[in-house]
Structure 1
Amino acid sequence: MGRKDYIADVADVSSKNLPSIVSVAKGGEDGEVHIRYAPPDRDPFNITIMSTDVSSYPSENGYYISTDDSVDLPAGVDGALELIQQSSMGTRIQELLSAISGNLGRHFSMGTKDNPVGLDSDTDIEMCEGEDSENEEEDEYPSYTSDEESSNGETKQDLSPEAAGRLNRRIRADLRAIKRNGLRVGVLDGAKADSVSSLISISTKVDKLGLSEEAIQAWDLEPQQYIILLVRYRGRYQSFEDIISEAAAHLNIDYRIGVGKKYKPTLAEALAAFTDSKKYDPNFSNAQDSGKQSQAGFSSLFISSSMNEFVNQSLITLVKIRNSIGVGWAGAKSWYNENQSRMGGPDAAPSESVYNQDALDNQKSLPDMLSRDHFTDHGDEQVSFPLVAAQFTLRYLVRCTEYCLVCHDRIEGDFEALKPYVCDKPLCLYQYMSLGFGPSVEHEILTQPYVVDLLTSFCYAGAMNQRLREYPTGMALLVPPVTIKTSRDGNNGRYYTPNPRDSTSSTVHPKTLTPAMEVKFDAGRQEIIFDGRKYDKSPVKKGDWVVVSTTDRTPTHHRVEDTMQYPCVTLSKEATAFQNPDINTNVHTPATTPPPQNTIPAYVVSYSENFDDMDPVSKAEIIVDLLKTLPSLKEMRTYLLGQSRSAEPSLRSWNDRISPAALGILRWIVASNRSCIVQVDKCPDQDDTDATMAKVRLDQRIAHIGSSYVQFRFAQGSPDKEQRFLNALKAQQANLNTAYPTIFAWHGSALQNWHSIIRSGLDYKDTLNGRAYGHGVYHARDQTVSSGYSAHGSGTWQGSSLKIASAMSLNEIVNCPTQFASHTPYYVVQHIDWIQCRYLLVQVSAGDNDYARDTTASVNENRQDDISQDPKYRATSTLNKTIGIPSCAITTSKRFRDDKDKVLQAKTKLAKLPNILKRKHSQSSGDAPLMDVSDSDEMDDIAFFLSDSETGGSSQSKSLQTPLTDFVPGSLDHSTLPMLDEPSYATPMATKALQRNLKEVLAIQKKTPLHELGWYLDERLVNNMYQWIVELHSFDPSLPLAKDMKASGVTSIVLEIRFGKDYPHSPPFVRVIRPRFLPFSIGGGGHVTAGGAMCMELLTNSGWSAVSSIESVLLQVRMAMMNLEPKPARLEGKGKTNRQYDYQVGEAIEAYKRACLQHGWQIPSDFGQFSSTPPAYGTSRGS
């Protein structure tokens, strides 16, 4: 199979007659096919199909499917093709074109029941684990109807107008329930009765989850970001009753959890989140139009992989269990586990422990929003399944540290980690390491590259010096055999895997020898030539990794790129950390390609040995060799940043540069580190901008430390170590000084020991430096003493930016020195559970001349919130000064500390709550942004919720309407307004557009009840088209703004809207004339600046669209004023006895400019013309 089969299949399908496909033609590029699709009653359009790997057709080949950008296609076509592309891996071209023909045909005919979405009608069923597509046993819970029909027996085509109206009302009711429960809703696609698919987003701000600052930092979040749940219906919208009554495998509902800057991503970003098979070519990464990059964004969380798997596979099952036996989420999971482990079947009664799980779960403290359970608290309303899904997802997210990342069972223990891990089941640990459920190495490289650098450097030094205690066994890594030099066994060019039972060092002897294959090697062309007389066919295949060794050069590692020209085999560029930072540089050019006669004799071996079968010495050697093949951390981060522009970042796709074995080692290094390490210092080559983007917490550095050290903080040690440390404090609580329950001291150790220290903690199993003062872990109060023990060892990873020369730690120790093995002149602590690393200080190589950091703050700064050290046991630095330790260093022991400092006392009280759930009750105005424009719902979402055409007077719509109003149209005093003559900059284009807009607005105002519309434009006040006076009125009486207006006798908010010469291509300028609002800095809100201008991205060049209508602008301005977050709008000088003063146009213009500069928005080019017009009168008026 391969290219020949692909060409033959293309020729075959070209002659076939597929519905609506009028032509199939081979393109100019290898693997390219052009088809012409002609839908009924529509103009035909072109579709281009590009194969990703023709040589591996069809099993390892996928497809890119695109359409002609110059043609306006009907809505949904790209989405339908995207779904086909997602499931195209391994399909033949005939199957692909059949899927395109069938799915697009269904799309244009509004869908059919006979042809479900996908390449195969059984695909979705077969891919569901544990499901049996041939019988009803796949659904274990009662009350199911037949899998072949829905609960109402109607398909999309069968929906009568009455049924469609009922479904539309239900969709709106379900989504409105989400908003009433404090969450944000975005309709990205569909959500109508006649929609063939729907995609919605449900989100909430990070700062509403009640997470502690430590958890937000450890999870790489920002308080103003949004946690987003995407829910996709691959078919008609399903109500809660539909979901309960149908088999889970046939519901076709998918979920993705991520984070974004706004409350909903774009449709393209949302669809990309559901594309699981993404490939990326770095050569095309820079071809993306930077202007088209989304400002909202949707990216994965550090736990997205595990949560996506759990929610997609288990949510509906757990919902059905809850509905069946009346338990909570914890009870449903417990009963699910019971059914998995017994033969009793679904009708077996749940045990008492199932209900006890809910009682235990309810004892946990949660923020108010997350403690709600719509499943049981919906009252007379129908259950909204999207709300149930969102509450379940967010509840699990904030409690993720309590559960196993793989089996999702609760992990018992008093100590709560900052990051989740796995339980002690061997299978869970294997899946955590091997199947990607652990931390994403790509995410860590993007967000904490220097921490990954630190961990990789420690592992390299440990392996180089044979000091690793654990290895990545059980991951099925295929690695090259160990190379035996001539000096060791006299067999030049021979490779073998040592006997795993023989664990001696370099004198081990092989049990069996694996002969290398003799080849000719052309280094210039990156080719090897086999002897065709020895091998009938190529001994290697495309995708294999091999090691090429010659007598005069170091062995090099390559990927096999092509074997079609056998016996000549093409290899990839050599994999090594010493590469040009430009990852897109070509291997060679024709002008520099050496002639063919430059081939030399060489030996080749493939990555064919199982890492698990090697002895410890060989494992360490292989780890060193594989880490040498990795690109530098800087290269990997550059690659991932470029890749993130078009796909989910993945090092796996860089398959010609990073071998699966090397990537597996790197993943193991990151995943096996259970400590939460954060960078608190600037690193080599890191400028201020990069440090700010990386959220380096310089305020968490130890004070009075010399400038030669780079500091990292253990935000939390490994959970089991922290648990043992907590237990030790509890056991010694009666002996502790409550003012100083712990002390701090330094520990120095050779570089090769730190890989194991970070993972298993300090111990004294090995004697490396003598034990003159007894057995235990040695510590010193003086950093200078410990630094002398940290300078031994060798092994610097070539791909490191840090180039670490030595490392030492500052440790927290239980303050019972009299119980130490020795406490003078050094602390010798024999109880290893009494020790916990809190800071790691590393020295970089002296050769980095460009490494100059401003460490003045670290050296001289004294902070008020530094913890108080025991005066008898103060730790000092190499500067002979007592170090200043931030309070964040005592996260575990602070509950035992009776500190007089008020800040620490407050934190001690909060320590009684779970570690990651410390609810923040307030935020200082100094830390809050001027405005948060992402709180404004987009126009399509506002229109969706305000549309009552299908509600039929339902109770859900009543809360969105105000039946009466005290506003009287036409009562505004004309003489108090700043009326302008037609400006000199008026243009025919803008005037014509404004005339059309004015006509549209007046028509809407005429046919809509006043109290429902909420705004009023008096056409008598339109003296010229470039200035409109609009009044906002009839606000919800429960709003603080409406109450203030009532108290002040104000019935409307008077706005001035000015238009520039470039309208509609530039936004209008919208400002409040009267009344004055309370400024944001002293408790106001409503997106009104201190000068009266509206602070909304919509009204800047960054957010404006020429197709936006004035109606939508007025609606969004009104919604912004009604928004209660981050603070509600309030009036200044409330009360009828207070005088109301107008805003001046000058102060509004300056406030608008300040807001744009603060948020990075682009000011319209014609904005300067507004300041040249006559200012507002500034008339004061009594209320």
Structure 2
Amino acid sequence: MPRKAFVADVAAAAESDIPGIVSISRGADDGDVNFDFVPNSGERIELALLATGKSIDLHLPNADLTSSANTSKNVTNILEKLASCTQGMNIPELITTISNKLCHAIAGGESQETIKSAEADEDLGNDDDSEDSLGDYESDDGFGPFGGLPTGNSRGPAYNPAAPTLSPQLALLLNTRIRKDLRDAKFANFKIGILSGMKAQTTLNILSMSVHASKLGLSEEAMQAWDIEPTQYIVLLVKYGAGYKTFESVISEPSKSLEICFRVGVCNRYKPSFDEAFAAFTEVNHNVDSTRTEIHDGNQQEIYDTEFKHLFISSSLNDLMNSQFISLVKIRNSYASIGWNGAKKFLDDNQSRVDEATAHIGESAYSIVDESPSTLPDMVTADHMFEAARDGLSVSFPLIAGQFALSHLVRCTEFCLVCHNKVDSELEALKPYVCDRPLCLYQYMSLGFGPSVEHEIMTQPYVVDLLVSFCYTSVKTQRMREYPNGMCLSVPHMQPSGATQQYYVNGAAQPIYDSPDALPIQIDVASGQVVFERASTVIPVRDGDWVVIVHPSLPPQHGRIVDCSRFPNVRFVSTDEAGSRAAYMIPGVNPTTPAITPPPPGFVQAKLIVYETNFDDLSKESKNEIISLLLDSLPPMRDMRAYLASQSRKSTPCLRNWKDRVSPAALGLLRWIIASNRSCIIQVDKCPGQDEDDIQRAKIRLDQKLTNVSSDWVQFRFAQGSPDKERRFLQALKAQQDILKQRYPTIFAFHGSPVGNWHSIIRHGLDFKETLHGRAYGHGVYHSQDQNVCLSYAHGFNISWPGSELKIQSAMSLNELVNCTSQFTSVNPYIVCQFVDWIQCRYLLVRTMSGPVVETGSPDSGTMTPAFTDKVEQDPEHLCKSTSREVIGVPASAVAISRKFRIDDAQDRTTKKSKPSSGSRSHGSIPVDWVLTDETDIDDIQILLSDCDLDHEADKGKEKETENVSTLINSTASSASMTDFVPGSLDQATLPMLKEPAYATRTATLSLNRELQKMLKIQKSIPTHELGWYINPDLMDNIYQWIVEMHSFDPELPLAKDMRTAGVTSIVFEIRFGKDYPHSPPFIRVIRPRFLPFMSGGGGHVTGGGAMCMELLTNTGWSAVNSLESVLLQVRLALMNLEPKPARLNCLGKKQARNDDYNTGEAIQAYLRACHAHGWEVPKDFRDFGSS
């Protein structure tokens, strides 16, 4: 058994609450597990488990059982019987089963009971229930047989509620329901992954539900701001700790007893590994972590693909899902007219009464319409719970959870990250934040829902520098709109005294601070010794207190008290060991004083002010002063980054550990500055003092920077507004398409604003709520296409944060505007745009005081700034020029939306009909042909398949479940709908087919005969219009060559509509098997009709020659355990998949569709091209198809 899986299983068992089991631990050797069983009466029994099997499935090992010498004979007999039927169990399930059996044996004398094998009875722990009937489990609550499974008290002390006892009949029905619930989620476009259990008899069940990021309709800027790669999957993990719970069980049982947990994150594959999922549900597990580290070195690619990573919003979403989601489901189930918003309002009003039968709800008061932006994809706005109630269908709890989590993720900016209520604000933000309640801000910071300061400093130091600099200048110029109220920051109460300025920094006189709470002291600055002048019995400070010391000839000295044991003499450690770093100013007329006044020698008179005033209690003016003083006390950005880098070598880096350098108040303020930024800012330029190695480590995209811009302007990619603002910008382009210039739908212009305004701009967006410069040319956002004009409005008041490396002097943005200048408020001399949705920020430019950035490296060294080859062509009448009067070059990659609009417009310019396709994923999203490179594991397909392997139940006279997954593929259509497909109407003589095979092998022939009989049996038991595929046995001339027709697609699919137009009732496939089957995959190709090629806008995974382009059908993705039913399922799903493009027919004329078939040669060549393009291995027996 792999050590990684073994350690994870032992940890899972140790975390589980298994009745009678104590002290679960690993033994001295790998594979050993020691645990004790303590019965209700009698002595403790020591047990040991030895995992010896080598299983491909890492978390389902084979195991042998041994017991210690003092174990009784009866117990030993039970263990011996169990040892023969443990295959397929993981360690937590096995220990739970052992506990059940021993409890029954000791409590009820059942030591001689017969233990059936796993093959005959899946429920190893429930043999004594074999005589129970379905009626025994029916509840009176109206929810059916799964609404009232017996609780622990109904079975006495020996009953284990974590492993519900089910009869075989009830287990069969529950397994059917599990499959039905998962199918509903599958056909709602979620990818399903089974990580553990998901069967009626398993205790621990972990389900993965995922959606590819490209399907969420998010802009590239939103993905960058949220740290989501376009190739990743958004994953919801659901853990059932006490067996699977149906929707009815969730509704009928108290929320706290369900043991259902959720985790939201991202993964590079559609599901993480079991170890990653288990670790996500384990708060502290050092053993698992260390083991994973060891394994990482062995298989980096596998770990990378299956690693489960947290999103920036994971903590908030996990809190919502685990603390409120189930309660919201219960509320909505009670009153169908209430949506999620109404249920949330009711929950807030009746927090502790959701599970009470007497809870009263005024339905009309909470019938709040769940409004969703029209720009969101249908998958994000779907509401399975409402649709199921409306149509009278069963409800899939996993699907409800997946839709709820997905909706809140995509719309996260609309909700508070702490209380999860809708944010009542017109503010549009690219990043989510909290509402106006001070308590929410406090919890947001204290509970760690915000971004990691340390991570941001280490990965984007110059962006953090930019944010702090903007805040510093904003408070210095009295331009702050909002403050960090509600964080309970303890700060010193101090303000300028108004006295004559007596010290200078860089030639500028500084104010003297005072406070009514100041304590008179004497201080020796060199040694840090402080003496209180008026000693009292009450010591005014304690060890660890942060204080600030003010002196007429010195800047404020921030520091920490480290020793009060010799009061009134205390020791003080200053953050500024070599003198103050007060506000950096551009030198003016230098006086005769030195740049920084040195401290006086020996003890001097001063005042000490303790950090003990609540920031919220200060006036606006005092808040501005305190913020500037706290930022003054912060170490330089370079020092903070170096400190974190040194810490990361031995532990998790944390600025809180820098106790003598960073005060809690300053750190809290820094966190607020970073967390409250609601724009996406990404460095794409070299900054002053940055070397080439740093640029490469930070993966800075220098190819995305503007050209012809002076090097003293540092460039950042810049986006703001709500996540759907990019889509609204595109809609504005569409709406004005008739009057747009076809070749130049957008123009570029600069917007300049004083540096002190940018702290608010990056949080609230560009608006024209305040008038600063007269607005002589009307209301709107002012722009200029001459950077020199904007420069006069972008001054920085000669102020910059002293710890900054950028030393920002000016700031402006480069914006993209809809080119409808005739509708602007003004065009000359300034562009004044009054429509905010017509403006999209693209770049943020900051001018530094450090002078031009010098490019290092020679042209041959490879370190020069890479130049982009594709740039946007600008409107000759509206050229945007830099300070050097040159036309700036804008990379096409920076304006993907309008760029695609331009391309579509130019392709059909003469017809005036060029409109971006409504089904295109270019509307703010990133099209990725992801399905072709990420096939679903066969285990995750098998769980959706039919129950034909349960024929023994029919022999017992019980009704066999006949529904299979092929039926539910058409779940979106009415089950009563008929089909225009006529079985047996296909004329084989008209089909161009591969030559009949001249080979045959015993293994392949036997396997194919079994598969054919199984398929025909399924086909006979399911109505044709529900099944969706048809095999005519009369056309089966050779077992190695099958003809399969797929039909009865959802009538709303584009493919189904094309088939009706073309008069086609089925898609005809040829399936050819090689001599190595089942160890090699079949070759599957479309014969007729022809599909629209992928390069022409088609989809469905059909190549230009008709062969199916699926990794499953190559040696790379094939498994010998694949059933042909599962293969047909995946082929059908591929045809129905709307992403990245839906399958369409290439010919719409009836005569053309019936006569334009794919020939065999082009299919073979297309298959080979697809394999080479994706790096898939071609089956060795594939060459036989062309020669036979």
TM-score, length of structure 2 as denominator length? 0.60
Residue 158 of structure 1 corresponds to 165
Report Cα offsets for 1:492-532 as digits up to 9, x if no partner. xxxxxxxxxxxx9424245232879999999xxxxx9xxxx
Q: Which of 350, 354, 363 in structure 1 is aligned with 2:366?
A: 354
Which residue identity lines up with residue 880 of structure 1 in the other structure?
A: R
Residue 109 of structure 1 aligns to a residue in which SS? Answer: helix
Say if 2:517 is the partner of 1:511.
yes
Q: Which of 381, 386, 400 in structure 2 is aligned with 1:388?
A: 400
Which residue identity lines up with residue 419 of structure 2 in the other structure?
A: C
1:239 Cα shift? 1.2
Q: How does 1:313-352 map to 2 (within 5 A)?
A: 313-327=323-337, 328-339=339-350, 347-350=359-362, 352=364
Q: Is the 8 A contact 1:285 1:642 kept in 2?
A: no
Which residue identity lines up with residue 299 of structure 1 in the other structure?
A: K
C-alpha distance in 1 between matches for 2:885 and 2:703: 22
C-alpha distance in 1 between matches for 2:1067 and 2:834: 73
Which residue identity lines up with residue 784 of structure 1 in the other structure?
A: N
Say if 2:407 is the partner of 1:401.
no
Report Cα offsets for 1:345-397 as digits up to 9, x if no partner. 96445253423x23x63795653334543324334543211112222222333
Residue 1053 of structure 1 corresponds to 1072
Say if 2:868 is the partner of 1:846.
no
Say if 2:786 is the partner of 1:782.
yes
Residue 232 of structure 1 aligns to a residue in which SS? Answer: strand
C-alpha distance in 1 between matches for 2:907 and 2:1172: 41
Which piece of structure 1 moves more, 602-611 or 1117-1126? 602-611
C-alpha distance in 2 between matches for 1:820 and 1:1009: 66
Q: How does 1:4-403 map to 2 (within 5 A)?
A: 21=23, 37=35, 43=48, 106=96, 108-109=98-99, 149=151, 155=161, 156=163, 158-212=165-219, 215-276=222-283, 289-290=296-297, 291-292=299-300, 293-327=303-337, 328-339=339-350, 347-350=359-362, 352-355=364-367, 357-358=368-369, 361=371, 367-378=377-388, 379=391, 381-403=393-415
Q: How does 1:589-608 map to 2 (within 5 A)?
A: none
Which residue identity lines up with residue 508 of structure 1 in the other structure?
A: D
1:245 Cα shift? 1.1
1:295 Cα shift? 0.6
Q: CA RMSD in A?
A: 7.5
Report Cα offsets for 1:705-762 as digits up to 9, x if no partner. 344433335422599999xx9xxx9xxx9xx999999998656566566435544679
1:613 Cα shift? 6.8
Q: Is the 8 A contact 2:234 2:265 kept in 1?
A: yes
Q: Is the 8 A contact 2:208 2:238 kept in 1?
A: yes
Residue 158 of structure 1 aligns to a residue in which SS? Answer: coil
C-alpha distance in 2 between matches for 1:953 and 1:387: 26
Q: Is the 8 A contact 2:636 2:803 kept in 1?
A: no
Q: Is the 8 A contact 1:210 1:366 kept in 2?
A: yes
C-alpha distance in 2 between matches for 1:110 and 1:571: 62
Residue 206 of structure 2 aligns to a residue in which SS? Answer: strand
Name stretches of at least 5 consecutive residues in structure 2 with no aligned partner: 1-19, 38-44, 64-90, 105-140, 504-509, 531-535, 579-601, 858-862, 954-958, 970-981, 1020-1028, 1032-1037, 1050-1054, 1148-1152
Q: Is the 8 A contact 1:175 1:386 kept in 2?
A: yes
C-alpha distance in 2 between matches for 1:434 and 1:317: 25
Which residue identity lines up with residue 940 of structure 2 in the other structure?
A: D
Residue 88 of structure 2 corresponds to none
Residue 422 of structure 2 corresponds to 410
1:669 Cα shift? 0.7
C-alpha distance in 2 between matches for 1:451 and 1:262: 30
1:199 Cα shift? 1.0
Q: Is the 8 A contact 1:450 1:802 kept in 2?
A: yes
Which residue identity lines up with residue 377 of structure 1 in the other structure?
A: E
Residue 587 of structure 2 corresponds to none
1:1111 Cα shift? 2.2
Q: How does 1:549-948 map to 2 (within 5 A)?
A: 615-616=622-623, 619-628=626-635, 661-679=665-683, 705-716=709-720, 746=750, 751=755, 754-756=758-760, 758-759=762-763, 782-787=786-791, 804=808, 806-810=810-814, 839-844=843-848, 845-846=850-851, 848-850=853-855, 863-864=872-873, 876-881=881-886, 920-921=919-920, 932-933=931-932, 935-946=934-945, 948=947
1:188 Cα shift? 0.9
Which residue identity lines up with residue 812 of structure 2 in the other structure?
A: M
Residue 80 of structure 2 corresponds to none
Structure 1 235/370 Cα, relative in aligned 2: closer, same or farther at 3 Å?
A: same
1:317 Cα shift? 1.4
Which residue identity lines up with residue 1152 of structure 1 in the other structure?
A: C
1:206 Cα shift? 2.8
Q: Is the 8 A contact 1:575 1:629 kept in 2?
A: no
Q: Is the 8 A contact 1:367 1:919 kept in 2?
A: no
Report Cα offsets for 1:376-419 as digits up to 9, x if no partner. 43345432111122222223333333333333333456775544
Q: Is the 8 A contact 1:674 1:719 kept in 2?
A: no
Residue 937 of structure 1 aligns to a residue in which SS? Answer: coil
TM-score, length of structure 1 as denominator length? 0.61
1:936 Cα shift? 1.8
C-alpha distance in 1 between matches for 2:815 and 2:218: 26
Residue 484 of structure 2 aligns to a residue in which SS? Answer: coil
1:938 Cα shift? 0.7
Q: Is the 8 A contact 1:633 1:799 kept in 2?
A: no
1:198 Cα shift? 1.1
Q: Is the 8 A contact 2:380 2:403 kept in 1?
A: yes
Q: Which of 1151, 1155, 1174 in structure 1 is aligned with 2:1174?
A: 1155
Residue 418 of structure 2 aligns to a residue in which SS? Answer: coil
Structure 1 159/697 Cα, relative in aligned 2: closer, same or farther at 3 Å?
A: farther
1:321 Cα shift? 1.3
Q: Is the 8 A contact 1:259 1:300 kept in 2?
A: yes
Identity over aligned residues, as a percent?
Answer: 36
Which residue identity lines up with residue 863 of structure 1 in the other structure?
A: V
1:954 Cα shift? 3.0
Residue 134 of structure 2 corresponds to none
Report Cα offsets for 1:105-138 as digits up to 9, x if no partner. 6475259999xxxxxxxxxxxxxxxxxxxxxxxx
Residue 416 of structure 2 aligns to a residue in which SS? Answer: coil
Residue 209 of structure 2 aligns to a residue in which SS? Answer: strand
Q: How does 1:952-963 map to 2 (within 5 A)?
A: 953-954=960-961, 956-957=963-964, 959=966
Structure 1 272/21 Cα, relative in aligned 2: closer, same or farther at 3 Å?
A: closer
Q: Is the 8 A contact 1:718 1:759 kept in 2?
A: no
Q: Is the 8 A contact 1:224 1:261 kept in 2?
A: yes
Which residue identity lines up with residue 321 of structure 1 in the other structure?
A: I
C-alpha distance in 2 between matches for 1:790 and 1:366: 36
Structure 1 421/345 Cα, relative in aligned 2: closer, same or farther at 3 Å?
A: farther
Residue 920 of structure 2 aligns to a residue in which SS? Answer: coil
1:233 Cα shift? 1.2
Say if 2:1160 is the partner of 1:1141.
yes
Q: Is the 8 A contact 2:237 2:264 kept in 1?
A: yes
Name stretches of at least 5 consecutive residues in structure 1 with no aligned partner: 1-17, 28-33, 47-67, 78-100, 115-140, 492-503, 523-527, 529-533, 577-599, 912-917, 981-993, 1017-1027, 1060-1067
1:1175 Cα shift? 9.4
Q: Is the 8 A contact 1:710 1:841 kept in 2?
A: yes
